[in-house]
Copies of this chain bind each other. A is one copy, B any other.
Amino acid sequence: MRAPATAPFTVPPDNGQRVPVRSALVQPLDGLIRRLLKSVFGRSPLSFVLADGSVLLESAVPPVATVVIRDRRTILRLLLDPDMAMGEAYSDGAAQVEGDLVAALEAAYAAVGARSAWYWQLAPTARHTVRLSFRNARRHYDLGNDFYRLWLDEQLVYTCAYFPSPQAGLEEAQLAKMELLCRKLRLRPGEEVVEVGCGWGALALYMARHYGVKVRAYNVSHEQICHARKRARNEGLTGRVEFFESDYRDAQGPADVFVSIGMLEHVGRENYPALGAVIDRCLPRGRGRGLLHFIGRDRPRPLSAWIRRRIFPGAYAPTLSEVFSGALEPARLSVVDVENLRLHYARTLARWRERYEAAYDEVAARFGARFARTWRFYLAGSEAGFRSGSLQLFQVSFARTGDNDLGWTRADLYRETAPGHGRL
């Protein structure tokens, strides 16, 4: 996929002489490129130039960024398959962005998304066997805890934070998120909690420490589970939190509470009934509650092909109705509360990216320049997705149908005093 370093628009000499075809082919081609760019990006705050300095499109409005493209092959790819090619070209260095990367991507997605539906090809159905789940998770989450330590918060929470105020710092916001979750779950001392997809274990340990519950936590990432077990030992919580290197389908009840933060994206649409059955099996008959926190969509659409290829193999961000009809309705569960926190995820990604940029040279030195650019593009593109509303972040609180042990109002979520943390 790597574009050649030289411009492709020369033909090999057949008489010992290099014949420039520029005059014959390039000028009409450039005209076509300019027209196509204008038809897609004509109203966007983006300018496009070639690396040789020739201007392809001058933004009609004050530009947020200039896209510098190495060669015409790259720009043709961008026009033919922007979904895939934007990420590839950025990772390869074949396209660079001078200016605000997030704003540029927000503008690009808006222009491409508004333009036509054929850009969004139907995603091939990804399979999600237990074995593939392990492989997919290892590919992403086992990149090494040291890598994530460079730019996540100190507790390594790799999901949307909750910023009590927009100015809050990342550490504070991840603590507030865990506190918000505990309050939404209305945890009581001595209760049993099943958590599937527990990451590095921060929430499981928080629930046990601050709310006195017992937690069985599941995760298929070896590196994450090792880290979580070590933390439990260091913090004297091994008696109250058990970590299993295991798929969500292995989760065992009985539990009073079921919680999953940022895992549903990896479950796959075809497995929502299986997830519902796991929840149904873990909770008692006619009783119990839980929460699903996941990246979603307003309308059914696959994730970007590039994200699926390079970042999250097999991932899918569902609509609420896909999750409700697929997982919750058949499992006799009732939706109690939904909160959309997409702007909090945009803020979280901005905080991650600040740290990532500060560690950029170290990432590039250890993982290579392409990897460093790929992850920058992923973080910036995700932020753009949440800002533009292409991506949503849903927290769905549920209870067994007919269980009347519900909070009377939500006012107590926002009360001053709480076991863990201050006001939300």
- Give residues in A with beta carbon < 8 Å to B: 162-166, 298-300, 319-322, 324-325, 328-330, 332-340, 343, 387-390, 392, 394, 400-404, 406, 408-411, 413-414, 423-424
Pair A339/B337 contact, Cβ less than 8 Å: yes
**How far apart sit A406 and B402, CA to CA, in the bound complex (Å)?**
32
* CB neighbours of A325 from chain B (8 A): 319, 321, 325
Cβ 8 A contact of A389, one of B163, B320, B334, B408: B334
Pair A335/B334 contact, Cβ less than 8 Å: no
Cβ 8 A contact of A321, one of B164, B320, B390, B408: B320
Cβ 8 A contact of A333, one of B162, B165, B298, B300: B298
Pair A335/B343 contact, Cβ less than 8 Å: no
Pair A410/B410 contact, Cβ less than 8 Å: yes
Pair B298/A332 contact, Cβ less than 8 Å: yes
CB distance from A391 to the nearest CB of B (A): 11
The number of times this chain is found in the oligomer is 2
* CB neighbours of A409 from chain B (8 A): 162-164, 424
Pair A392/B338 contact, Cβ less than 8 Å: no
Pair B338/A408 contact, Cβ less than 8 Å: no
**How far apart sit A402 and B387, CA to CA, in the bound complex (Å)?**
7
**How far apart sit A387 and B402, CA to CA, in the bound complex (Å)?**
7
Pair B392/A334 contact, Cβ less than 8 Å: yes
Pair B424/A402 contact, Cβ less than 8 Å: no
Nearest CB in chain B to that of A346: its residue: B404
Nearest CB in chain B to that of A389: its residue: B402
Cβ 8 A contact of A408, one of B166, B333, B337, B404: B166
**How far apart sit A178 and B295, CA to CA, in the bound complex (Å)?**
32
* CB neighbours of A328 from chain B (8 A): 298
Nearest CB in chain B to that of A176: its residue: B409
**How far apart sit A324 and B390, CA to CA, in the bound complex (Å)?**
17
17 contacts between A and B (CB under 8 A): A162-B409, A164-B411, A298-B329, A298-B334, A299-B401, A300-B329, A319-B329, A320-B335, A334-B389, A335-B394, A337-B338, A337-B340, A338-B338, A340-B406, A389-B400, A409-B424, A411-B414
